[in-house]
């Protein structure tokens, strides 16, 4: 019958409704990072001196500062200019205790300290940890930055409770994070840090000249090679980390004239990554001469070198505001 024929024929609207009901019946697939995941938040990834301008927008120009944590629980390594933005972020959480570890006291690792906002607010506590062996004591170095000749605000004007501690022994524990340290090869007493959270590890070595003076091809070298053996302590310290954060500041061409300046050539850094057997590598502490284009090209070369070393792990460049889970 005409009536029933009309009744049973689906219109386009009916079909669309049916389709959308079928889709709605299944929960949408929305992947999320599972549970608690420890992270490294890079706030400053430039070495030596901050840079700015259109040639540096992709990687950013702030000097060394990272926060390592999980959820709201975190600690900080280095107080380069990147710590200024971190400080503004921490203000939104209200007064808390901040643990700040310093690899060494070269400018690019402390110059953001006078601009770290929590220092000026009552209720915040800031504990600053540094290794033994600095020329002056840690407090004098930080206080010196606030000398009236350099800065308008004085250390005494900082209202936070500030405490300085020398890192003695080999490790300490903060909440669920174990933090260990080891000396690196760099002018001035310099530390690298390793953090373990529930079995996951990240090594942070911002400044390290691996194999000083070595300009040859790294392929024939191994842990038993005489020049490598001198670095066995640091290699052992970083062995098998889930995430290695280690500089590779100079191209091999640049390294020829910068031997002894405390930073690794690209190929020497690649060899170190291989010898540590790190699972993943993020490179920080970019040279101020290296703009975004230069860094993109350098990263491609890094991947080629790792392939030629038969160690093609995932490698990337740190940039300001990168959050890397490990």
Backbone phi and psi for residue 161, each to the nearest 5 degrees, phi listed first: -85, 110
Length of the chain: 326
284 binds Zn ion (CB under 5 A): no
Answer for which of 106, 194, 231, 298 binds Zn ion (CB under 5 A) is 106
Closest CB to Zn ion among residues 196, 208: 208
By CB under 5 A, residue 78 contacts Zn ion: no
Min dist. Cβ of residue 258 to Zn ion (A): 13
Q: Select 124 or 210, whichever has its Cβ closest to Zn ion.
A: 210
Shortest separation between residue 193's beta carbon and Zn ion, angstroms:
14
Residue 104 Cβ vs Zn ion, minimum distance, rounded to whole Å: 6
Stretch that binds Zn ion, among 107-115, 156-164, 295-303, 307-315 (CB under 5 A): 107-115
Six-digit token string for 289: 């001469």
E strands in 86-214:
97-101, 125-130, 161-166, 171-174, 177-183, 191-197, 200-205
Shortest CB 262 distance to Zn ion, Å: 6
Which residues pair with residue 182 across a beta bridge? 192
Q: How far apart are CB 323 and Zn ion at their closest, in Å?
A: 21
Residue 197, SS3? strand
Q: Which is nearer to Zn ion, 45 or 267 (CB)?
A: 45
From the list 218, 193, 320, 202, the residue with the least C-alpha distance to 268 is: 218
Which neighbouring-strand residues pair with 166?
130
Q: How far is the CB of 109 from Zn ion (least distance, A)?
A: 6
Record the tokens describing residue 40, joined without a space.
Answer: 């490294």
The residue nearest Zn ion at its CB is 106
Backbone angles phi, psi at 314, to 5 degrees: -70, 125
Binding status of residue 108 toward Zn ion by CB under 5 A: yes
What is the smallest separation between the CB atom of 82 and Zn ion, expressed in angstroms? 12
Report the residue number, 47 or 130, with the smaller CB distance to Zn ion.
47
Q: How many angstroms separate the CA atoms of 47 and 106, rounded?
A: 10
Give min distance, CB of 177 to Zn ion, in A: 23
| Closest to Zn ion by CB, 177 or 204 | 204
| CA 64/CA 83 separation, integer angstroms | 8
* C-alpha–C-alpha distance, residues 44 and 50, integer Å: 9
Q: Give whichever of 207 and 320 is closer to Zn ion, judged by the CB atom.
A: 207
Specify the residue, 107 or 325, whose C-beta has the smaller distance to Zn ion. Answer: 107
Task: State residue 201 phi and psi, 5-degree precision.
Answer: -130, 145
- Please count the other Cβ atoms lying within 10 Å of the Cβ belonging to residue 264: 27
Size of the site for Zn ion (CB under 5 A): 4
Indicate the helix (H) or strand (E) that contains 34: none
Per-residue mark of binding to Zn ion, 86-105 (x: CB under 5 A): --------------------
| Measured CA angle at 226 (ends 225, 231), to 5 deg | 90
- 207 scored as a contact of Zn ion (CB under 5 A): yes
Binding mask 29-58 for Zn ion (x = CB under 5 A): ------------------x-----------
Q: Which of 296, 244, 283 is CA-nearest to residue 46?
A: 283
Instruction: Work out whether 180 is an interface residue with Zn ion (CB under 5 A).
Output: no
Q: 3-class DSSP state for residue 48?
A: coil
Residues that bind Zn ion (CB under 5 A): 47, 106, 108, 207
């Amino acid at each position: 019958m005409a009536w029933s024929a009309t009744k049973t024929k689906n219109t386009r609207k009916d079909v669309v409704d049916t389709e959308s009901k079928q889709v709605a019946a299944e929960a949408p697939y929305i992947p999320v990072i599972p549970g608690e995941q420890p992270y490294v938040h890079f706030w400053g990834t430039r070495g030596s001196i901050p840079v700015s301008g259109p040639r540096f927008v992709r990687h950013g120009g702030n000097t060394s500062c990272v926060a390592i944590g999980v959820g709201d629980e975190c600690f900080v390594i280095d107080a380069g200019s990147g710590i200024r933005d971190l400080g503004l972020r921490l203000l939104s959480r209200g007064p808390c205790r901040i643990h700040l570890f310093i690899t060494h006291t070269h400018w690019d690792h402390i110059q953001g300290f006078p601009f770290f906002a929590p220092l000026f607010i009552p209720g915040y506590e800031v504990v600053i940890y540094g290794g033994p062996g600095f020329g002056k004591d840690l407090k004098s170095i930080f206080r010196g930055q606030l000398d009236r000749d350099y800065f308008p605000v004085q250390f005494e004007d900082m209202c936070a409770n500030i405490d300085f501690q020398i890192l003695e022994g080999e490790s300490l524990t903060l909440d669920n994070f174990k933090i260990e340290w080891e000396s690196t090869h760099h002018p001035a007493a310099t530390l690298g840090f390793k953090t373990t959270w529930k079995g996951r590890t990240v090594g942070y070595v911002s400044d390290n000249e691996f194999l000083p003076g070595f300009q040859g091809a790294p392929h024939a070298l191994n842990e038993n090679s005489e020049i490598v053996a001198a670095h066995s302590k640091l290699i052992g310290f970083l062995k098998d980390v889930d995430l290695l954060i280690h500089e590779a500041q100079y191209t091999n061409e640049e390294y020829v004239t910068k031997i002894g300046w405390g930073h690794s050539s690209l190929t020497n850094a690649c060899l170190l990554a291989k010898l540590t057997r790190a699972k993943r590598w993020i490179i920080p502490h970019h040279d101020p001469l290296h703009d975004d284009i230069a860094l993109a090209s350098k990263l491609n070369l890094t991947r080629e070198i790792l392939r030629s070393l038969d160690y093609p792990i995932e490698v990337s460049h740190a940039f300001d505001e990168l959050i890397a889970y490990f």
